[in-house]
Amino acid sequence: MALPNDPVILLSYVNTQLRDFDSSLEDMCRRLDTDPEQVKAKLATIGYTYDPEANRFQ
């Protein structure tokens, strides 16, 4: 499955996946066959960074 291209929609999608299914960004990206650095870069464009302790972008 392709991840949403719009960063705001991606933020919502990723945080939901992290909350409901995965214990880390790396686990989610492995499950969805995507690069965590690309996710981080896309969400950085709207000012969000990954917090591993909270397991979410904020």
Can you give the pLDDT at residue 26? 98
For the segment 31-55, the average pLDDT, to the nearest whole number, is 98
pLDDT over 80 (residue 1): no
Burial class, 4, CB count within 10 angstroms (exposed 0-12 / middle 13-18 / buried 19+): middle
Can you give the pLDDT at residue 2? 87
Q: Of 43, 42, 22, which Cα lies nearest the Cα of 31?
A: 22
Residue ranges per domain, the chain?
7-57
Here the tokens at position 18 are: 């992290």
Of the pLDDT bands very low, low, confident and very high (cuts 50, 70, 90), residue 28 is very high
- Say what the pTM is: 0.94
For the segment 33-49, the average pLDDT, to the nearest whole number, is 98
